[in-house]
Structure 1
């Protein structure tokens, strides 16, 4: 059983509605419903009367609700005790989108080391919505993620502080042949083979909104979908198609001529944000947040 299922069930009981509960848990309603179903399957009993409106819990669901809250309380209580025993007051827990963990985080955290002193740095990586969940549940002190100004962010809420710490942009790239010429190009006659992020991911949704409309006159043929930018880059280098990726992820390959950028009429800029919740897990975390803010402001 996953602890996120317990959070989901408590949220559902508190909201009394699948769609509202899914929104508070930063997942789509279908994904949220599947997770509630997974909890029911694990327990072996139905927790929700799905044929009733408004939604109500079954008798088993009502009985389990308090147990779910107690289980979560015990889980986080044990975690707090273990962290204290390991001097966790000196640690900083980051969660980041995978490409940022590779391209941005190492040099950025190195530049901050004088301010962070001997703090122990722990970095976890996961996709956007899961990363938000880690921040909101307290599993991470800081979230490092992309943001775009064309759409309101799920992190635009009063209990989250956000700080822009860098910039990036999206570029359309393709591999090259032995002569250094693009293996794929923009042509009104030949469909452009595309390697894409899933449309449910942050970058995939942004590409659907901003980039694909710019290719409206270009016939396109999606040939692969991969949630990892490194995977899309590897496929582009193999000549499988063109891909829209963060420029930082392909900087070396562009400089070495292994990939080339295809021209587009649209520029999609990305902010890199560091986010936290003001209810810090320790005084040390709060102090380091202020140090990071002061450093970025100078």
Structure 2
């Protein structure tokens, strides 16, 4: 039995979704499913009911308590042993969004690891409010997040300082039909039939960015919400299936655009520019955090 199986099971119990848990654990959906199956075989009982959402069996509820207690005890023991054997190596704690953890963070981490490392890193993901709270509570050293009116409202510039790490673009994309043409076009404001639209739920940072941009367009478009989700990946998948038009980060859809599974539609003004930002609490005195911050600041796009 492997410790990661227990961590997988705890995450599955928390999210109630194989796909979301696999994403959070940075493994493929099939690999994650095999690990849960291996844990069930080791336990000798079925732990989950594979419904939507996933639920726990009676054995699963019982085992969840044991798994949570066991991992807590093991990590506490490891921390004590590390403390007793001299200074432990600094682990950089980074909070970020789930999509950024997949599309942006790996390349950025590789770059800073080569420049300032090697050093271990612990990444935690979640919604905008969740990861901002982690930074404020001292549970993260750095925050990598999409910059938006929402994040600027939630993050007090008197307490936090920021750097702009990269530019990003929301692209309006649709699936290609059998002839390789866009399945939908953006309907003008006076159109009788609006364009089916895959929208962001309120918890997503980029909802406000997109809404502000669409409201400011000189030529409005007519959209009809047919699907809404709190996951860019979920919206991405529905766009690939041809359900409607979606505005999605370029880094997330670039491969599909290159392969023409998704087509960028509309005039250039339909595209939305925004930033990927790095935050930390002002006055942080951690040597590794300061070294990374000062190094990144030298080539950052903007700082505040």
**TM-score for the superposition, normalised by structure 2:** 0.64
Gap regions ≥5 residues in structure 1? 1-77
- Matched with 2:288 is 284
Q: 1:83 to 1:173 in 2, by over 3 A?
A: farther
Shift of 1:227: 1.1
Shift of 1:223: 0.8
- Matched with 2:214 is 211
Q: 1:202 to 1:195 in 2, by over 3 A?
A: same
Of 213-222 and 140-149, more deviation after overlay is shown by 213-222
Q: 1:116 to 1:84 in 2, by over 3 A?
A: farther
Q: 1:83 to 1:288 in 2, by over 3 A?
A: farther
- Matched with 2:142 is 142
Shift of 1:271: 1.0
- Matched with 2:105 is 105
Question: SS of 2:163's equivalent?
Answer: strand
Is the counterpart of residue 202 in structure 1 residue 205 in structure 2?
yes
Distance of 1:82 and 1:211 partners within structure 2? 54
Matches within 5 A, 1:214-233: 214=217, 217-233=220-236
Is the counterpart of residue 245 in structure 1 residue 255 in structure 2?
no
Distance of 2:120 and 2:297 partners within structure 1? 19
- Matched with 1:54 is none
Q: 1:88 to 1:275 in 2, by over 3 A?
A: farther
Distance of 2:217 and 2:173 partners within structure 1? 15
Distance of 1:161 and 1:88 partners within structure 2? 28
Distance of 1:165 and 1:294 partners within structure 2? 11
Q: 1:103 to 1:82 in 2, by over 3 A?
A: farther
**TM-score for the superposition, normalised by structure 1:** 0.66
Residues 218-240 of structure 1, C-alpha deviations (whole Å, 9 max, x = no match): 33210111111111010000011
Distance of 1:181 and 1:158 partners within structure 2? 50
- Matched with 2:173 is 173
Question: SS of 2:266's equivalent?
Answer: coil
Distance of 2:250 and 2:81 partners within structure 1? 38
Is the counterpart of residue 294 in structure 1 residue 294 in structure 2?
no
- Matched with 1:271 is 275
Q: 1:89 touches 1:285 (CA, 8 Å); kept in 2?
A: no
Shift of 1:296: 4.0
Q: CA RMSD in A?
A: 2.8
Shift of 1:113: 1.7
Matched positions, count = 219
